[in-house]
Structure 1
Amino acid sequence: MRGIALVALAYLIISASDAAVKWALPEVGTAMAMIWRGVIGAACVALMARGRGLFPRDRRLLAARSLLHTGVSAAWYWAWARGVPLADTYAVAAAAPLLMTVLAIPMLAERVGWRRWSATLVGFGGVLVMLQPSGDLWRVETPVLLAAVAAMAVTRIWTRVLARTDTPAAIAFWLMIAHVPAGLALLPVLPPPSGAWVPSLGATLALASFGAVNALAHLLFGRAFALAPVSVLAPFEYSPLLWGGVLGFLIWAEVPSWTTLGGAAIVVAAGLYTVHRERVRRSQERRAAAAAGRGARAAAP
């Protein structure tokens, strides 16, 4: 229950921080937002962790995950800066758990049965509903977001692998650090749209809050996945759809189209069924292991 509470809080915080950076993006732009996130986020992680557990063990995988995640951040910020609503981006991101099911086969050597394959195909059908020409998601930013979702699925699988060797503080800290050089590299291409290199007081407060609470959310994610199984926490992956819709309506009066909502509902349903099958599979494995243990004890002299 503590793990569920922590991950639900983390997704709420992530949604609020996304709204904050989306609000500041018209003034500061994508590259500056990444730099602010990296500097403030890394400092906050170091303070909250009290400097402990920040040294990475699996350096190569941690570096690869952090750099790939900066590409995900850049794609999201670029789409928001161009006016894509929060709820629409979260609807596209709902495909991430389905992609994780597919990618877990080559990356984690997992076996996927016909039921989970069927759920995955249904989920991608929901993505096609969202992307039909009459829908609001039929726009130039969507292919970039889809590529970012695929990259995000890879980073989440790598997070599972890194959790075996590295602390949540190390994973979050180096993720934040990677945003600084990535933002500096993008600065000549994506400079502040306003032309002002020093943000206003309002944008500064929004970016500082964004970096701080984003760091807190990633620490909460790490702790939640240490307390509860992935299959238990996975359904909360879809909670940003709710928070994004509420925040988008309250701040920008954004209302998702029926194609976006309908397609997202199909994707979420397919994802929840995938979670259900994962629970069933794990339960069968536990029963088989228990039966094998009883058989070994009975055969012992």
Structure 2
Amino acid sequence: MFMSDSLFKSENISRGIIFMVLAVFCFALMDVSMKQLATDLSSYQISFFRGVTSLPFILGWILLSKNMARLKVIRADLHILRGLISIGFLITTVLTLRELPLANAYALFFAAPLTITLLSAIVLKEPVGKYRYTAVVVGFIGVLVMLNPKAMGFASIGVIAGLLSMLGYSCSMILVRYLHRTETSEALMFYFILSLSIGCGFLSIFHWETVTMAHAPWLLLLGVSGAIGQYLLTEAYRKAPPSILSSFEYTAMIWAIGLGYIFWSELPSIWVLVGSAIVIGSGIYISHRETVRKAPATPKVRHVND
């Protein structure tokens, strides 16, 4: 029985990893569609379409699984705050994708775990030891490597938008961590998409560009890839712990390089590759130290500094 349970757990973890890699690929396709649409449509429109094209899929999934009761809201104020922040970071995400090569944009977004670590200590009062603080410093050195004048530079619209997007996403994730104390995953997912649909829909009224049939395939890809990616991500976390899955989020760089080259003949510079490698390494180490910190103490091993 023990071996059977162990094998079942191992199979679930393997499936969770596969689901995570596929989810990351779907989100990369979603970003490809947003980047393509950004050549003709405003960032407000694309952010609106990101929400409204995924909303039917998310709502349908909740209805089919008979989980409507799990949409109950306890902290409406924090849902609204998260929605406002999410609107801002998605609009700046579209700007980043429009202005920068896909791999460069992802390299900036990968700094989010570093910022989340700092914000967790400041806002949530979570303990962060010297090892993780060191990893954060090293990670931000990687960001500086990417932002040197020979790579992306400091002052371009794409870089500024990317840094703002990364900061907004980090703040949103801090709110998600806090809201998980009272809210369900279904509620967090549904009201996030609903906020984008309503908020960005209102803003897009003032920046509306004509949508043609040529945009239809990209809009379809935007909605389907976003919805499937969200479903796969949810299933991944059902089958495997975050400590194992988090490192596989960085497979996004592989997809970004491949898809960026296929669609736009983009290749990142050596500075971006080196800087992103430092950032990714720091993010993986932070995830590892988080796992060590949460591991139960034993008489022989005691982790004090995390």
TM-score under structure 2 length normalisation = 0.85
What displacement does 1:209 show?
Answer: 2.3
The residue number in structure 1 matching 2:146 is 130
In structure 1, C-alpha distance between the alignment counterparts of 2:175 and 2:228, rounded to whole Å: 20
The residue number in structure 2 matching 1:184 is 201
Instruction: Identify if the C-alpha distance between structure 1 residues 11 and 211 changes in structure 2 by more than 3 Å, giving closer, same or farther.
Output: same
The residue number in structure 2 matching 1:231 is 243
In structure 1, C-alpha distance between the alignment counterparts of 2:248 and 2:259, rounded to whole Å: 17
Instruction: Identify if the C-alpha distance between structure 1 residues 287 and 67 changes in structure 2 by more than 3 Å, giving closer, same or farther.
Output: farther
Instruction: Identify if the C-alpha distance between structure 1 residues 223 and 212 changes in structure 2 by more than 3 Å, giving closer, same or farther.
Output: same
Alignment counterpart, residue 266 of structure 1, candidates 253, 275, 278: 278
TM-score under structure 1 length normalisation = 0.86
Alignment counterpart, residue 119 of structure 1, candidates 132, 135, 138: 135
Give yes or no for the alignment of 1:247 onto 2:263: no
In structure 2, C-alpha distance between the alignment counterparts of 1:108 and 1:7, rounded to whole Å: 27
Give the AA of the match of 2:218.
A
Alignment counterpart, residue 228 of structure 2, candidates 216, 221, 241: 216
Give the AA of the match of 2:126.
E
User: Deviation string for 1:63-114 (max 9, x for gaps)?
Assistant: 2222211111100112223x31111110001111111111111222211111
Give the AA of the match of 1:176.
I
In structure 1, C-alpha distance between the alignment counterparts of 2:283 and 2:35, rounded to whole Å: 27
Give yes or no for the alignment of 1:46 onto 2:55: no
- 1:165 partner SS: coil
In structure 1, C-alpha distance between the alignment counterparts of 2:153 and 2:253, rounded to whole Å: 15
The residue number in structure 2 matching 1:19 is 32
The residue number in structure 2 matching 1:29 is 42
Contact 2:95 2:161 in 1 (8 A): no
In structure 2, C-alpha distance between the alignment counterparts of 1:189 and 1:248, rounded to whole Å: 31
The residue number in structure 1 matching 2:178 is 161
Unaligned ranges ≥5, structure 2: 1-12
The percent identity for this pair of structures is: 29
What displacement does 1:42 show?
Answer: 1.2
User: Deviation string for 1:155-192 (max 9, x for gaps)?
Assistant: 12222333343333322221111112322343366442
In structure 1, C-alpha distance between the alignment counterparts of 2:157 and 2:41, rounded to whole Å: 22
Give the AA of the match of 1:205.
P
- 2:77 partner SS: helix
What displacement does 1:23 show?
Answer: 1.2
The residue number in structure 1 matching 2:162 is 145
In structure 2, C-alpha distance between the alignment counterparts of 1:280 and 1:84, rounded to whole Å: 36
In structure 1, C-alpha distance between the alignment counterparts of 2:235 and 2:178, rounded to whole Å: 15
Contact 2:142 2:278 in 1 (8 A): yes
Contact 1:88 1:256 in 2 (8 A): yes
Alignment counterpart, residue 294 of structure 2, candidates 276, 282, 287: 282
- 2:150 partner SS: coil
Contact 1:129 1:260 in 2 (8 A): yes
Give yes or no for the alignment of 1:9 onto 2:9: no
Contact 1:41 1:173 in 2 (8 A): no
Larger deviation: 21-30 or 161-170?
161-170
User: Deviation string for 1:15-52 (max 9, x for gaps)?
Assistant: 01110121122122212112222222111100111162
Contact 1:42 1:174 in 2 (8 A): no
